[in-house]
Amino acid sequence: MGDTLLRIDALYHELSHVRVEEWPQLEEQLCNHHQFAATLLRDQQKYDGAIVHLNKALRLAKLLEEDELKALVLHRMGYILLDAGRIDEAVRAYEKARKYEKVPYNLRGSILLQSGLAEAKAAESDKGKQEAAIGLIDLGGKIARAGHDEGDPHFLKLNLNRYHLDKGAALIAVGRNQDAIDELKLVKSQPEYLRGRAYNDILQAQANINLGKYSEAASLAECGLVVVQEIDSKVNIARVESIHRQLQESPFRNNPEVARLDYLLFRR
């Protein structure tokens, strides 16, 4: 993070020493660096700081008049607002992002996936809104399934695993927990993607605890926790802490599996 901030400062300093014609190149680099800083801060649950960086990135994208950059920043804005629990703001960010239709397929698909997840979390008990949210995710899945070969300059990693993960999360949000488990089991194992595998375990743990399957929930939460603690992903550790609190409030609270999860979470 320190290195990223130094680079940002250096780029702003450079702007005052180059010709106006060279500004766009530096502005695009600054836009990308602000987004990277926001991603780092989001993983540490420093959401306010992340949003500050993304607002700066959005201003730069507007100066550059680049629809792709504007859509990308809004996508990341929505993603972080969603993690921060600012659901209505996330929905609005994704509504703006979806207006930019002439963007690369992997960006369009990623926006649809996360937009559907935001809409699902905002839908509450409205069945119509729930179905519309899942529909957005399926549109994103259709793009992922098509496998457009266009590179991935923004590291969005749009693929079927992403589709199944986001759809699983959305199904949990609308209370379809068994459907979510079935969806998440479609994710293909990729040992090199530790974060994605851990996220899958955590989502399945949440779906199982919602169904009252406490032993399965505790076991899956532990599997996910070991990985996210190793990479110090505080946003995912917080998800496991939430599951742990639910287990403590359940009839399963005195089980050794809950005690073990407690130890792993709060050992010093």
Whether residue 120 is predicted with pLDDT greater than 90 in this model: the reply is yes
Give the confidence band of 248 by pLDDT, cuts at 50, 70, 90: very high
Average pLDDT over residues 95-99: 98
| Mean pLDDT computed over every residue of the chain | 95
CA distances from 78 to 118, 186, 264 (A): 8, 26, 31
| 206: exposed, middle or buried (Cβ count in 10 Å: 0-12, 13-18, 19+) | buried
Rounded percentage of the chain residues whose pLDDT exceeds 70 = 100
Average pLDDT over residues 3-22: 94
pTM over 0.85: yes
